[in-house]
A and B are shown apart, each in its own frame.
Chain A
Amino acid sequence: MRNWLNAVSLFLFTLLLAPSAQAAADAATCLGCHGSMEGAVKVDQERFSKSVHGGMNDCTMCHLALKGAQHQGLSDARPDKTVADLAAAIAAKSGSNAVAQAACVNCHSDTYQTYKASVHGQNVIVKKSADGPVCTDCHGSPHYIQSKSSKESSVNHFTVVETCGKCHEEKFMSEKYGFSTHVMERYKESFHGRKLRVGHPGAPSCASCHGSHDVKSAKDPSSPVSAANKITTCAKCHSGATEKFVAAITHKPMHPIAHWTELALIVLTMSVFAFICIHVLLDIFADIRERLFRKGDKHE
């Protein structure tokens, strides 16, 4: 009797664990192999389940038109025209992964339209450049994307600066696209950058002024930091901002006058530092000498 009971419960338990044969392309099936593979094809099951896409059970929503005999019969879906066109446009950049990288637009179509009109989108889609970012360049792998409010997100208010910096810190980028050299360095040493770094929620990140998916070249009149819009953008925080006020923030390399003034101040600081150190040390030695050799003297 007892053996019989054990056998039944074991059987039921096994049924519960066994992957359902009908849902051939669900995440469990794919992860059965990809969860334990090595290299680029590996998907970390735990991290995936905690990501914003962790609830999606159908890998073939993005991984359309799977190749290879091992994937036979798992997905017959063909990318629609939008995805196929985008995949073709980013093929130079993405290689074999182009379709999956383009598939974001299936769900995120509004964001895609905004991105397409941005300086990044134009560079990638129209000019077919390998420099500009596609979704995954900023957001990371779709398997592990965290909500924008998460600390681990690569595009939250505090981490987005480093994410922009991946490209905008590169010298060849500033030369090729004509934006200011040292833009990251100048931002980071500014009050904005420092305050953001120590966790001030009101301090602006790159995206606060330049926008994110809709980012435009500063030369584009529709950019929030174009000559026409800069005052409005700065006034979001600095009410009453004027032409003169907004002219101060350019991310340009430090002006020679500022550079030499700072150097002079540093020299002054170091000189005073050296003088007082020497003075204090000599004072200590004289004190010791007096105590050793003038013991009988009147004062302590």
Chain B
Amino acid sequence: MNNRTIPTEIERFDLSARVQHVIMFTTFLLLSFTGWGLKYAYQDPSSAWISFWGGAKMAGLIHRVAGITMLLDFIYHQFYLINQYRKGGMRPTLIPMPKDVVDAFHNFMFFFGLRKERPYFGKFNYMQKFDYWAVYWGMFIIGASGFFLAFPVTVSTLFPMWSIQWIWDVVIAMHSDEALLAIVFILIFHFYNEHLRSEVFPMNWMWLTGKMSIDQLKHHHPAEYDHLFGDKSGKKQ
């Protein structure tokens, strides 16, 4: 491995992953825009906002189509993962590990000036793993509740009679409150890390190119750099 020449950049996201991401964020934005108007229906700008989306009926249609597209994208991603695994090209780089907790702790120490370097991050650091698994949380909580709300008559047969007095309020709260959580999360955490951070502003072009420069890799994901290009003893750079 250490005999191989080090390339100037490496591919982190293949074309399929990039397309999945585009579908994911397009539907996410459409869902957020149309859903926001309904969540805050009694705030003044909402009616005008919904008119902008073609009225309540059209906004509802957009919301449903985008929701189903997003769910399909999510399901497709599971097949993509299985396929990656079968090709043998997949390492468990996204699975949360105890090291992530240590990394987070060390990162906070770095924030406070108690450590000189950022942690020895792997291919995906704990923030990126958080970002990735947040989508799963959203898919199960918001996706499932959205599906329930879209087909209330059918779904009501699945709920036991003793839950009828509260289950729909729970479903609505799940859908609406967790959607707000998802929006807030993307707007602050994802936007800061991938758009506003001074070294990536105005955006991290990886969503289009899928590629990361070796310098970036070495700096931000040193453990991955060492794994790919380091000496076999796996020592720190």
Contacts and interface: CB of A to CB of B under 8 A. Distances in A.
Interface string A266-300: 10110011001101101111110101000000111
A248 B168 contact: yes
A14 interface: no
B47 A258 contact: no
B37 A198 contact: yes
A193 B40 CA distance: 12
A199 B56 CA distance: 6
Contact of B41 (A197, A238, A262, A299): A197
B173 A276 contact: no
Interface stretch (B21-29, B67-75, B108-116): B108-116
A257 interface: yes
A189 to B, nearest CB: 9
Contacts of A298: 219
B144 to A, nearest CB: 14
Nearest to B134: A272
Contacts of A261: 166, 169-170, 173-174
B234 interface: no
B172 A244 contact: no
Interface in B4-32: none
Given A268-B181, A269-B180, A279-B189, A199 B153 contact: no
B185 A276 contact: yes
Interface of A: 188, 191, 193-195, 197-203, 238-242, 244-245, 247-248, 250, 252, 254-258, 261-262, 265-266, 268-269, 272-273, 276-277, 279-280, 282-287, 289, 291, 298-300
Interface of B: 37-39, 41-42, 46-47, 50-51, 55-57, 59-60, 108, 110-113, 127, 149, 152-154, 156-157, 159, 161, 164-170, 172-174, 177-178, 180-181, 184-185, 188-189, 192, 197-199, 215, 219
